[in-house]
Structure 1
C-alpha cells in the first residue's frame, strides 16, 4: 500500500466519474483534479453510501456546503460505489456536492488509504489552489470525521 501524501506534496491528477444533484436532476460528469487548479478542493473519501457514519459525514458537509464554498472551496465525496448508487444516496439524503466513483480504488490507493474489509479508510484531504496537499485527516478505524467547521478553519489558513 502506498503512503499517504505528505503536507506540501503535489497531488497527481486523476479522473473519476460521478454526479451532482442539481435541483431534481442528477448531473453526471467526469471530474478531474486539474480542472480544479486555482481554487481549494476538499476530497472526502468515505467507505460506503447509506451507511450510518458515512451518511452523517456527507450530510454534515452538505449542510455546511455554502460556508465551505464561500471560502472558495469545492467539495467532492469519493467512495468505491458506482454512480448509480451515488445518485440514490444523493437523492435520498439531499446531498449537493459531487459524489465520485472510485470503483477500482485507484485514487484511494494513490492516497494510501485502501484497507481490508472496508475498502478504504475514511479520509479528508484539503488540496490548495496549486494542487499541493494542505491538510489531511486519515482514520485508522473510520468512525470519526472532521466537521465542516474544522475544514473551514483549515481553509481560512489558505487565505491568510
Structure 2
C-alpha cells in the first residue's frame, strides 16, 4: 500500500489533447493527481467542476491538477469540453496506473475508486484521500495540504 512520503510511481499516459503526460517530467511543481470512476456521472462531474472552479487557487499554490479514469481519450475530450475543464484528464483505459497507485475498487468492487494524491515538487506523496461519497471534499482537502506545504 502506498504511504505518505513514498515516491510517487512514475507513469506515462495520453492527455485529452493527445499529448503524452509523464509524471517524471512534472518534477519541480506540486501535483494533485485524482482518480475518479467515470466521466459525466453526477459525483465525478461535481468533483471535476469543483476542481475547475478552484483551479486558479491550485495554480496560485504552484500545483497542477490532473484527473485520471479508465475512460477513453474521446470520452475525456467530450467531458472536458462540456464542463470547460482547464486541466488535463488522462486515459488509463487498461487500469495500469490505477493498479500502480493501488486505488481500490468501490461499491462491492463494481466501480473504480475515487482517490486523490497530493505529490510534492520532489515527487513524494504528501497526502492520500480516499472517499467515493465525498467527491468535492477531495478538492478542499488537497488545497489544505498544498497550503500547508507552502507554509
Which bracket does the TM-score occupy, shorter chain normalised?
A: over 0.9
Residue of structure 2 aligned with 1:7, choices 4, 9, 20: 4
The separation in 1 between residues aligned to 2:140 and 2:71, in whole angstroms, is 27
Gaps of 5+ in 2: none
Report the TM-score, using the length of structure 1 for normalisation: 0.88
Cα contact 1:105–1:114 (8 A) shared by 2: no
Q: In structure 2, do the counterparts of structure 1 residues 147 and 137 end up closer, same or farther at CA, with 3 Å as the change threshold?
A: closer
User: Displaced runs of 4+ in structure 1, greater than 3 A?
Assistant: none
Structure 1 residues 65-109: Cα deviation after superposition (integer angstroms, max 9, x where no partner): 001111000000100001000000011111111000001111101
Cα contact 2:30–2:120 (8 A) shared by 1: yes
Aligned to 1:16: 13
Aligned to 1:78: 68
Gaps of 5+ in 1: 20-26
1:11-160 correspondence runs (5 A): 11-19=8-16, 27-115=17-105, 116-118=109-111, 120-139=112-131, 142-145=132-135, 146-160=137-151
Per-residue deviation at 1:147? Answer: 4.7
Per-residue deviation at 1:18? Answer: 1.2
In angstroms, what is the RMSD of aligned CA positions? 1.1
Cα contact 2:10–2:23 (8 A) shared by 1: yes
Cα contact 1:123–1:137 (8 A) shared by 2: yes
The separation in 1 between residues aligned to 2:98 and 2:130, in whole angstroms, is 12
- How many residues are treated as equivalent by the alignment? 147
